[in-house]
Amino acid sequence: MSRFRPSFFIPFIAFLWLAIIGGMALQSTLSGNRNPSQLPSVLIGKAVPDMALPLLQDRQTKLALGNFQGQPLLVNFFASWCAPCRAEAPALEQLSEQITIVGIAYKDRRSDTVEFLQQYGNPFTAIGMDIDGRAGIVWGLYGVPETYLIDTAGRISWRHAGPLTRDVITTQLLPQMANL
Amino acid sequence: MTRHLPHISVIIGFAIGFIIGAGLLTPATIGTAHALTAEEMLADPVLESRARYLSKQLRCLVCQNQSIDDSDANLAKDLRREVRTQLVAGQTNEAILSDLRAKYGDYVLLAPPLARDTIALWLAPVGFILLGIAITLGMRRRAGQIDSGSGSISSADRGRIDALKRRHENLNKRDTK
């Protein structure tokens, strides 16, 4: 009856194991190292998809990202209907002093985009129109705002889904830009 | 061990069976409401059924646990249209899936592909079933050993057991009178 049975400890070991895994996941989420909703882009290291989008100012001319090759580039998907894009506008304005930024207006009307830029500033060197959202799909876009850092060879080296906060810029974007 | 409770392996067996059964049944019973609107549908019924078939396998990336066939999200709608555009352009099912995989990663597929980093995920259910069978067989064998007696009881003990059994039977006879 009182014989020592190792199987008695199996539930305890199983529980301990689950508790350790759960604890580790919770710890890394709370400390901000892990964000389950941020999925890495599979396009990292790949060439930018060149979509030949019509420009905001002139629909006959197409946006050619290839023209920017040889310099680092920030591509920012935004929309006038997107609230976080408004919050992000000052940060983009500041960044535009350090790096060329190309904007892609995602599923937006030209008149709305123009109004948005008048109100919140225009940090963009060029703006392409992705009226039906197809370019978004080709870029693997989740939503707006979303920002891609392009290296001098025209490859995507970093992506951020969501607004560029001060924290994201200082801890991720600026170190990435320094590496280019 | 309490005999009136079902054996732990039976409980585990039922639990596994229930989980598998629920997984197989839910798409058929619950998946009746979908977000597809009439104007999105293709005129060609063959292409449309292929579009529906593909849409059910693709994840709505902003809702994350719905297929694009089920989701009302704008991105899901755009992806449905993308699937249909590519179908009309004559692409095969495999080409469409691999194209979206190249843009959004394996995550866009609701069923993760069998690869080196997902092999544990795919083999885990089989492993758990085998583990359950092994535990059940092991417990049965041990129970069998106890019942049949392994011959390690000395003749003196055997005599005492027989004496106790006789006494027990006599007591029972007296009680039933």
Pairing of strands A73-78, A146-150: antiparallel
- Are A75 and A95 contacting, i.e. CB atoms less than 8 angstroms apart? no
- Cβ pair A107:B74 closer than 8 A: yes
Q: Classify residue A93 as exposed, middle or buried by CB count within 10 Å of its CB (0-12, 13-18, 19+).
A: middle
Q: Which of A37, A41, A133 is facing B78, going by the closest CB pair?
A: A133
Q: Which of B74, B78, B102 is facing A42, going by the closest CB pair?
A: B102
- Are B132 and B13 contacting, i.e. CB atoms less than 8 angstroms apart? yes
Task: Look at residue B5 in the predicted model and tell me its pLDDT.
Answer: 60
B45-55 vs B74-88: helix axis angle to the nearest 10? 140
Average pLDDT over residues B145-174: 81
Cα separation, B35 vs B50, in Å, equals 17
Instruction: Give ipTM to 2 decimals.
Output: 0.76
- Cβ pair A134:B102 closer than 8 A: no
- Are A56 and A129 contacting, i.e. CB atoms less than 8 angstroms apart? yes
Q: Which residue of A has its CA nearest to B104?
A: A140
Average pLDDT over residues B150-177: 82
pTM over 0.80: no
Taking the CA of residue B177 and the nearest CA in chain A, the distance in Å comes to 35
Question: pLDDT band at A124, cuts 50/70/90?
Answer: very high
Q: Is the pLDDT of residue A142 over 50?
A: yes
Q: Is the pLDDT of residue B28 over 50?
A: no
- Cβ pair A140:B104 closer than 8 A: yes
- Are A146 and A161 contacting, i.e. CB atoms less than 8 angstroms apart? yes
DSSP conformation letters of B3-71: SSSPPHHHHHHHHHHHHHHHHHHHHHHHTT-----GGGS-SSHHHHHHHHHHHTTBB-TTTSSSBTTT-
Q: Which of B64, B75, B104 is facing A42, going by the closest CB pair?
A: B104
Question: pLDDT band at B2, cuts 50/70/90?
Answer: very low
Query: In chain A, which residues have their Cβ closer than 8 Å to the Cβ of B74?
Result: 107, 133
Taking the CA of residue A143 and the nearest CA in chain B, the distance in Å comes to 8
The average confidence (pLDDT) of chain B is 83
**Out of A74-78, A164-168, B14-18, which region has the weakest mean confidence (pLDDT)?**
B14-18
